Amino acid sequence: MASQMSVRGEEPARVSWVNDPKTRGIVFQVVVAVALIGFIYWIIGNTAENLRRANISSGFAFLNGRSGFDLSQALIPYSSNSTFMRAIIVGLLNTLLVAVTGIITATIVGFMVGIGRLSGNWLIARICTVYVEIFRNLPPLLVIFFWYVGVLSVLPGPRQSVDLPLGGMINNRGLYLPRLLTEPGFWLVPAALALGVVLTFFFIRWGRRRQMATGQVFPGFRVGLGLIFGLPILAFIVAGMPATLEYPEMAGFNIRGGQVVLPEFLSLYLALSLYTASFIAEIVRAGVLGVAKGQSEAAYSLGLSPRRTLRLVVVPQAMRIIIPPLTSQYLNLTKNSSLAIAVGYADLVAIGQTTMNQTGQAIEVVAIWIVVYLGLSLITSAFMNWYNAKMALVER
């Protein structure tokens, strides 16, 4: 008994920090952090020494210098006398143009193809399957070259341009469309469009609340179309129709007038849109199949048609499965736009490459690329995370 009492009275043996998970984790994190800081410090010092030996000044003062080169496409006024900063802004806007239009088109096509793969029509389902299997198994650069070299470059010249509806035409120099020439007072039209969008948003929200309270369905889609299209048309008439259309027409060996969409943009836009749409189609198909079959059967038993069942029952539930992987495809499309340099489209990377060659400021240009693409990715992810939270199932 005395020996047992003495054993119980002894202090527990101290555990070495190597065997203590908490202490060991802190030590390892500190060591890794110190090593990482030292590695970054060595990279910065080594880079600064190499720049000093090559007599290359560091910093972003070169952005205020004259660019000295022209660009094939600019959404804002630009000339060779503009600064490098303005050239990079033009490249950023061109990148955003490809990303935004590509995301919208890829989403629409992807949803249509994804739903089509589940169609009971044998022909539609097989056509959608062939489309998905072809584009998903090709590298995006090859798809870009296909549209640029295999489709657009083999179109006829300006004299043999192919006429399109509404006064447009297409040839190997691009797609020519009528240009809208505005006059004083036209500002009422975009203002009415903005008002229509805001009113549509509020009417749809009000309609949903009324439906949840009373069960009465509000025709939000038709009301929204009437507001978005009706108000601008009404404002256009009230303002005295302050706009005219300038149509493209042949003048000598070229086409004058109108608005031209360059083949470089067309090939990049079509390639990235259709390529990404094949992946979105599979995401949509998986999301729809992830909804329990009993949901559709319950909707049919209530008398809903297959179309209304898909729109009101299946797709809203499938969106909770679709949105997270859909975000990755939006990010991929935005980053794949950097392949524009392969066809000479003046995006951020192409203009940055030209700036780098003329100034030698490689580190600064690469830093601008990193900040821009990282910022676009974070903004896209933040928006999609917000939308995913709005679509999430709220537990009672």
Interval 243-263: pLDDT, tens: 888 888 877 778 888 888 899
In this prediction, residue 91 carries a pLDDT of 93
- Please report which confidence band the pLDDT of residue 1 belongs to, taking 50, 70 and 90 as the band edges: very low
Does residue 393 surpass a pLDDT of 90?
Answer: no
Q: Say yes or no to pLDDT of 350 above 80.
A: yes
Average pLDDT over residues 338-342: 91
Task: Answer whether 263's CB lies under 8 Å from 152's CB.
Answer: yes
Query: What is the predicted pLDDT for the residue at 244?
Result: 85
321, 287 Cβ separation under 8 angstroms: yes
- At 61 the pLDDT is 83
Residue 13 is predicted with a pLDDT of 54
DSSP conformational letter for 70: -
Provide the pLDDT for residue 243: 84
Evaluate if residue 395 carries a pLDDT over 60.
no
Question: Where does the pLDDT of residue 293 fall: very low under 50, low under 70, confident under 90, or very high at 90 and above?
Answer: confident
Question: Is pLDDT at 96 greater than 50 in this prediction?
Answer: yes
pLDDT band (50, 70, 90) for residue 276: very high
Higher-confidence position of 337 and 208: 337
Mean pLDDT for 180-197 is 88
With 0.75 as the threshold, say if the pTM is over it: yes
| For the ranges 8-22, 35-49, 272-286, the one whose mean pLDDT is highest | 272-286
For residues 271 and 117, what is the distance between their CA atoms, to the nearest angstrom?
21
Note the pLDDT of residue 15.
58
Maximum distance among all Cα pairs of the chain, rounded to whole angstroms? 116
**50-95 pLDDT, tens digit each:** 777 777 777 788 888 888 888 888 889 998 889 999 999 999 999 9
Whether the predicted pLDDT of 5 surpasses 80: no
Burial code (b: 16+ CB inside 10 Å, e: under 16) for 9-47 equals eeeeeeeeeeeeeeeeeeeeeeeeeeeeeeeeeeeeeee
Q: What's residue 369's pLDDT?
A: 93
Which of 81-95, 158-172, 295-309 is predicted most confidently?
81-95
pLDDT, position 254:
80
CA atoms of 198 and 317, how far apart (whole Å): 26
